[in-house]
Chains A and B, each alone.
Chain A
């Protein structure tokens, strides 16, 4: 039997080491696994509102504290005067009610006029003594409760639930929920909202109201009303539903948007929010509101801010007391 020579074996070994080396080099040169982005944590689904009212709005919710005695003599007003400024929680993105004027950076609007009138009454005049704090809707009650702000003048609807946490002035404007849609969208009434994407801020009652009134509408939520308008303008929502005053401000910034001419889907009476313990401050505010009615400041403010867009003559609601 002929044995292979050692050199022959060596030659054979060399013939397979070459491919092995080549293979290893190829393996080494292979690329990395493709980069991946971890999936975000599943988003919490917006509940679309509170757990539901724990009381019934039977009409008594619009009643406030009747003014009496020396309106500047109460503890809360004294505290504010001692501090030297009234701190008001307001919106800065709600055109016509409270929004930052890009031309000068100042916050202006119907709600701001209310806050200014209150500060004027306390300090006479209020120049430099009204501090506006931009707050979100969700911050309104917590910041009143912890004393960070003295009042909320931020299109705040008075209802019995909120009365259990804070106090309100008399109603200074009767708003109501409506729907904004595209001018030539073909939507002309609430029935036309079926299968349409309607946006309202998450965590508000507006989205629930739409679902109650038109169950076939597709709810879309965003951070706030302006964010809803961004979705609408970008074609990601077919309409926006919230208070008519807010919608008027949004429509005023978009010639292709129109507020549907419907009855109010819900009544949204606005009041100035105050800490539940500051009854004297509520009474002072109620005095201020009546003074504004008497000297025409309320009407002037309405005519300046809201009438051009709402196109209806506004009327200051009659105060109801008895709380």
Chain B
């Protein structure tokens, strides 16, 4: 369909410099199209990058939570091993060493993954070394049957909670904030705004031309506006969809990973408190209060499957407390340190293993979700840039038509 008439008639205002006006309108139209292409493509690239960073930050959140869990797991194992006596069970020693190895490896991984965390991770490394030194001293004294060993264990545990864990919590908080910020990195409204402004600008250009040439529509300019409008619709819908997907992932897999990791950390803390309560035989009340705090965290954050296992453990834990509170300390220790299936240690191990699996799966799902669609996002960005340039060319062509008609 063509709107061109065989003999176009310029506007009646003969005092106006129409060629100059056409030049200005052409520059404006081209600028609008190019700016749209560049800005919209840029916003899309930024959003794509934000999603990538959301995935990376999710991994980092889980990583530092794993550090938190492993530290408390190490402490729970070390504390429980003290109950057994001077001769630490080899399997407890191996489990403690494995937990500490995990911590050290994760600190290195975390430092590699996020430069902004490096200084704090270096501080954490110092605290972890101080903790493991304290536990090693405690173990050495304990093996020599010197009671000062328990003071070293207590000092190490206190320092862990007062110095090391606040650092880990700061890392969890900082990376959670980063992840959540990046999840909001999609900008469908901004894309719509840029698109609407570009289309609006082109409509104005078209109006200015039509007032002077008695043609309501300049095919090139209107074609450019229509193309940009269509492109805007596509990219805004995609960005909106991705934004919705991010929100779903944030409230779904991401939340599951973070919550489950919190539950896992608290479960290990609870076991350490159980052992502390027994070491301070008969006076476990203050540790039971700390156990209750940790238990509440588990109740509020664990997945249903983990929660069932946790409640199994709580039943066992209550039996330990009842024995101690009734004065049967030896029986309470025997139960708490037993490695038999169904006893507290095994029950807690089951909680830990289940939670670890949930965290791993959910974190992978969240990171995959944030990182997905990269090819589409980049292709759309390129398409947008090209679309802007094509629109600019169309507008140029359309206005050139009028210039030819005028001359």
Give A residues with C-beta under 8 Å from B: 3, 5-7, 9-10, 13-14, 17, 20-21, 24-25, 28-29, 31-38, 40, 85, 87, 92-95, 99-105, 107, 131-136, 139, 223-224, 226-227, 229-230, 233, 249-250, 253-254
Q: Are B116 and A35 in contact (CB under 8 A)?
A: yes
Chain B 319-339 interface 0/1 with A at a Cβ cutoff of 8 Å (1 = within): 000000001011001000000
Q: Are B148 and A131 in contact (CB under 8 A)?
A: no
Q: Are A37 and B146 in contact (CB under 8 A)?
A: no
CB-CB nearest in chain A for B33: A10
CA distance A48 to B45 in the complex (A): 62
5 pairs from A and B in contact (CB 8 Å cutoff): A36-B120, A104-B85, A132-B282, A133-B282, A227-B154
Interface size range on B against A: 35 or more
In chain B, positions 161-189 with a C-beta closer than 8 Å to chain A are 162, 166-167, 170-171, 174-175, 178
In the complex, whether B142 has a CB less than 8 A from a CB of chain A is yes
Neighbour of A134 across the interface among B46, B116, B142, B281, CB < 8 A: B281
CA distance A250 to B119 in the complex (A): 39
The 3 nearest A-B residue pairs measured at CB: A133-B282, A226-B151, A131-B327
Given known contacts A102-B146, A104-B85, A230 and B152 CB-to-CB distance under 8 angstroms: yes
CA distance A92 to B178 in the complex (A): 47
Inter-chain contact total with CB atoms closer than 8 Å: 150
Give B residues with C-beta under 8 Å from A: 20, 23, 26-27, 30-31, 34-35, 38, 42, 45-46, 49, 83-86, 114-117, 119-120, 123, 141-143, 145-152, 154-155, 158, 162, 166-167, 170-171, 174-175, 178, 279-283, 327, 329-330, 333, 392, 396, 399
Tell me if B's interface is mostly helix, strand, loop or mixed: helix
- Nearest Cβ on chain B to A261's Cβ, whole angstroms: 23
CB-CB nearest in chain B for A13: B31
- Nearest Cβ on chain B to A192's Cβ, whole angstroms: 25
Neighbour of A92 across the interface among B142, B148, B280, CB < 8 A: B280
Q: Are A31 and B116 in contact (CB under 8 A)?
A: yes
CB-CB nearest in chain A for B327: A131
Q: Are B281 and A107 in contact (CB under 8 A)?
A: yes
Taking CB atoms, residues of chain B closer than 8 Å to A101 are 145, 147
Q: Are B42 and A133 in contact (CB under 8 A)?
A: no
Taking CB atoms, residues of chain B closer than 8 Å to A21 are 38, 42
Taking CB atoms, residues of chain A closer than 8 Å to B281 are 92, 100, 107, 132-134
- Nearest Cβ on chain B to A45's Cβ, whole angstroms: 16
CA distance A236 to B375 in the complex (A): 59
Q: Are A10 and B30 in contact (CB under 8 A)?
A: yes
CA distance A125 to B119 in the complex (A): 62
Taking CB atoms, residues of chain B closer than 8 Å to A25 are 42, 45
CA distance A252 to B380 in the complex (A): 77
Given known contacts A100-B147, A131-B327, A253-B148, A35 and B27 CB-to-CB distance under 8 angstroms: no
Q: Are A134 and B148 in contact (CB under 8 A)?
A: no
Q: Are B150 and A226 in contact (CB under 8 A)?
A: yes
CA distance A212 to B143 in the complex (A): 39
- Nearest Cβ on chain B to A78's Cβ, whole angstroms: 19
Neighbour of B85 across the interface among A36, A102, A223, CB < 8 A: A102
